[in-house]
């Protein structure tokens, strides 16, 4: 199947030139200038999709900027590229793969056949098998080798096989089965697996080995360590009751000693960082139940449908992606802070780090030419209000301009006195000060001594997107993740890069092996002078 990517160089489009001129003409116009006396602005720049209210009024944009960004999307063929993705074309050019995470959450009855595979029925077959298994674990029908119920589930995986499930468990903990403990092991640091199992009982522990390839060093090593821990207590025969696998690689799963009857599959058209709604979400399904998981998928699907059908000017992922391009390429903003005002979303910044930076951290276009413009921003963050007491200082008064995504959950699942209004007040106050700042006159009016006024001025003009949802339930989490997935897609399409490969990560999977041979003595070798020096130091300290 041949697929024409968004053609060539985005800077050659007419819209890019217009946006460059607009950025120049707005160089002395602040968000405060754009906002003051414009009471219509918040309504004009707020959109709703799948329960997510996205307010872009604190961005440094005008109606002209928004229109020109939509023209840029048009000239780049972003929506045609979206349609090619959704229909299963191989838009992951460098790996020659389809990109079909949206198919993972399509309801029953939506047909999709790609490369001769009945994708729709395969997806639902796996979902049904996952549901039967998750229900059995939750109900106690699935027992460990000694006849006891499962009381702890340990997901062993890394990257895309860890961050989504770990984030989702934390996010949906309120709706999870509290009789089961969940742990997530990813690091090859032996501390991770050791601490994860130290207070668990092998007889009541279930391991999910989650690895698309089933070859990843960290995951395989942790899985072998877990296996030895279990076998030492319960014997070889117990493995099949305490280990299940999530993978695309049946052969390797079987070679590990896991019965492929207890393997839940997915496909090469699901990228690791886009896989939390595939079988990789098995731990999520055990935590929140199969009905809860279907709600999660429904939230993803609602956002997919919105992205696929909403008019460009109302299309939230499209607008969010285009504003990210504006900030990155025309305002020169290098980093985005993700600031969820929800403790349940404490792993969301880490999750987004992978989704955004692994997808759009590229510097070669789809046609192989080096880019001549900036691509993916650096994403990082912490839950509010904790971040306020540490790095927000730089956000407010540092010399770098950072854009922020402030995420607010209106209704708490744990209401206590005025704590939730306090949390929301902090989110809104920070969003306001970041965008609008505090002028010298305002600071002086508070009675601040003259000498201190310059120190207390907040320049503002830091762009903020404020995303507000009613409650953080499974549906909303699905919609929120899909919103970011599609925003990432839009950015990648504008930049003409492959958002779905990860050659930098692939290198990491290989590069340590030579040094490991030297460290373990199995294949002595020497490296560059600095590496040899570090090896000698390590040996002297170990
Ligand atoms: C995700 C990346 C990467 C991957 C991990 C784990 O998009 O490709 O983070 O998910 O390296 O890979 P396996 O699932 O194959 O173990």
Q: What is the pLDDT of residue 5?
A: 63
Dist CA 187 CA 222 (whole Å): 8
SS3 annotation, 150-196:
CCEEEEECCHHHCHHHHHHHHHCHHHCCCCCEEEEECCCCHHHHHHH
- Respond yes or no: is residue 509 known to be catalytic: yes
- Give backbone dihedrals phi and psi of 8, rounded to 5 degrees, phi first: 45, -135
The answer to whether 334 touches 373, Cβ cutoff 8 Å, is no
Query: Alpha-carbon dihedral of residues 215, 218, 223, 226, nearest 10 degrees?
Result: 170
Average pLDDT over residues 42-52: 98
Active-site residue, from 90, 301, 306, 358: 358
CB distance 376 to ligand 1 below 6 Å: no
Q: What is the pLDDT of residues 156-181, one digit of tens each?
A: 999 999 999 999 999 999 999 999 99
From residue 483, alpha-carbon distances to 103, 285, 315, 355, 377 in Å are: 15, 21, 10, 12, 17
Query: Which residues are registered as beta bridge partners of 508?
Result: none
Q: How confident is the model at residue 1 (pLDDT cuts 50, 70, 90)?
A: very low
By mean pLDDT, which of 361-375, 442-456, 502-516 is the weakest?
A: 502-516
- Respond yes or no: is residue 174 known to be catalytic: no
Residue 70 has pLDDT above 50, yes or no: yes
Q: Give the SS3 label for residue 122.
A: helix
Structure tokens at 278: 């595939």
CB distance 212 to ligand 1 below 6 Å: yes
Task: Name residue, tokens 């209004």.
Answer: 421
Average pLDDT over residues 463-485: 98
Q: Which helix (H) or strand (E) holds 84?
A: helix 78-86
Angle in degrees, 0-180, between the axes of helices 503-520 and 529-541, rounded to the nearest 10: 50
Q: What is the pLDDT of residues 488-531, one digit of tens each?
A: 999 999 999 999 999 999 888 778 889 999 999 999 999 999 99
- Respond yes or no: is residue 389 known to be catalytic: yes
Number of the ligand 1 atom closest to the C-alpha atom of 160: 10
Ligand 1 centre from 484 Cα, in Å? 19
Average pLDDT over residues 215-230: 97
Ligand 1 centre from 31 Cα, in Å? 40
Number of the ligand 1 atom closest to the C-alpha atom of 273: 7
Q: What is the pLDDT of residue 2?
A: 40
Q: What is the pLDDT of residue 511?
A: 83
Q: Which of 158, 163, 506 to mutate to test the pocket of ligand 1 (most atoms within 8 A of CB)?
A: 158
Q: What is the pLDDT of residues 112-148, one digit of tens each?
A: 999 999 999 999 999 999 999 999 999 999 999 999 9
Q: What is the pLDDT of residues 20-41, one digit of tens each?
A: 999 999 999 999 999 999 999 9
- Give backbone dihedrals phi and psi of 527, rounded to 5 degrees, phi first: -125, -155
Q: What is the pLDDT of residue 466?
A: 98
Residue 12 burial (10 A CB sphere; 0-12, 13-18, 19+): exposed
From residue 475, alpha-carbon distances to 59, 147, 307 in Å are: 27, 35, 16
Residue with more model confidence, 8 or 200: 200
Number of the ligand 1 atom closest to the C-alpha atom of 274: 7
């Amino acid at each position: 199947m041949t697929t024409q990517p968004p053609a060539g160089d985005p800077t050659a489009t007419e819209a890019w030139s217009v946006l460059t001129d607009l950025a120049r003409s707005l160089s002395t116009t602040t968000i405060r200038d754009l906002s003051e006396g414009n009471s219509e602005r918040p309504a004009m720049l707020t959109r709703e999709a799948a329960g997510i209210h996205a307010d872009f009024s604190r961005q440094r944009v005008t109606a002209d900027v928004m229109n020109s960004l939509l023209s840029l999307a048009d000239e780049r063929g972003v929506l045609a590229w979206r349609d090619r993705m959704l229909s299963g074309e191989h838009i992951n050019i460098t790996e020659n793969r389809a990109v079909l995470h949206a198919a993972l959450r399509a309801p029953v009855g939506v047909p999709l056949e790609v490369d001769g595979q009945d994708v729709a029925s395969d997806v639902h077959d796996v979902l049904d098998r996952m549901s039967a298994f998750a229900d059995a674990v939750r109900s106690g029908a699935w027992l460990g080798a000694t006849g006891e119920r499962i009381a702890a589930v340990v997901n062993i995986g890394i990257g895309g096989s860890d961050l989504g499930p770990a984030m989702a468990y934390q996010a949906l903990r309120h709706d999870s089965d509290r009789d089961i403990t969940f742990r997530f092991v990813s690091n090859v640091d032996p501390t991770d697996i050791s601490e994860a199992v130290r207070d668990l009982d092998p007889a009541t522990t279930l391991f999910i080995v989650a690895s698309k390839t089933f070859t990843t060093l960290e995951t395989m090593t942790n899985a072998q360590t877990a296996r030895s821990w279990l076998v030492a207590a319960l014997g070889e025969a117990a493995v099949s009751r305490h280990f299940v696998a999530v993978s695309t690689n049946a052969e390797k799963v079987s070679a590990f000693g896991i019965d492929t009857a207890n393997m839940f599959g997915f496909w090469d058209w699901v990228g690791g960082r886009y896989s939390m709604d595939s079988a990789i979400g098995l731990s999520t399904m055990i935590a929140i139940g199969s009905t809860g998981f279907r709600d999660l998928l429904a939230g993803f699907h609602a956002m997919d449908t919105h992205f696929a059908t909403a008019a460009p000017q109302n299309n939230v992922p499209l607008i969010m992606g285009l504003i990210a391009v504006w900030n990155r390429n025309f305002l020169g903003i290098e980093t985005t802070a993700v600031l969820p005002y929800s403790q349940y979303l404490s792993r969301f910044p880490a999750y987004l780090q992978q989704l955004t930076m692994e997808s759009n951290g590229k510097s070669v276009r789809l046609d192989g030419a080096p880019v001549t413009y900036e691509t993916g921003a650096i994403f990082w963050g912490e839950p509010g209000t904790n971040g306020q007491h540490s790095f927000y200082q730089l956000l407010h008064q540092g010399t770098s301009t950072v854009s922020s995504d402030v995420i607010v959950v209106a209704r708490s699942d744990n209401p206590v006195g005025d704590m939730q209004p306090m949390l929301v007040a902090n989110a809104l106050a920070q969003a306001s000060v970041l965008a609008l700042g505090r002028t010298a006159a305002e600071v002086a009016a508070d009675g601040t001594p003259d000498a201190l006024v310059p120190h207390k001025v907040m320049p503002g003009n830091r762009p903020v997107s404020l995303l507000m949802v009613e409650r953080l339930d499974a549906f909303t989490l699905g919609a929120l993740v899909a919103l970011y997935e599609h925003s990432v897609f839009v950015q990648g399409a504008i930049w003409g890069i492959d958002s779905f490969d990860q050659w930098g990560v692939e290198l990491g999977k290989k590069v340590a092996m030579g040094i490991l041979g030297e460290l373990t003595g199995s294949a002595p070798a020497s490296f560059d002078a600095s590496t040899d020096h570090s090896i000698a130091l390590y040996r002297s300290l170990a």
